[in-house]
Amino acid sequence: MRAIGPLTGFVNTILEMIAAGQDPNDRVFMTAECLDPGLEAGGLGKVKFRVRVEKI
């Protein structure tokens, strides 16, 4: 769950841009990082996500 949490803001922004007829891939910051503290702090490790939208 800690990995998916930071993506919720992206999903909201993407849906708003699609509804407005704009290209959501024009966003500058489309990279998120999980909230895990990392291996050094007893966590499971870090995960980075790059978000993009494709028409299917």
pTM for the whole thing? 0.64
pLDDT digits (tens, 9 = 90+) for 26-38: 876 778 888 777 7
- The pLDDT, as a whole number, for residue 1 is 60
The two structure tokens encoding residue 2: 């800690």
Q: Is the pLDDT of residue 2 over 80?
A: no
Among 2-6, 10-14, 18-22, 46-50, which stretch is predicted with the lowest mean pLDDT?
A: 2-6
DSSP-assigned states of every residue in 21-33: T--GGG-S--EEE
For the chain, give every domain's residue range.
Answer: 5-50
pLDDT at 24 over 80: yes
Confidence of residue 39 (pLDDT cuts 50, 70, 90): confident
What are the φ and ψ backbone dihedral angles of 50, each rounded to 5 degrees? -110, 125
* Cβ(49)–Cβ(35) below 8 Å: no
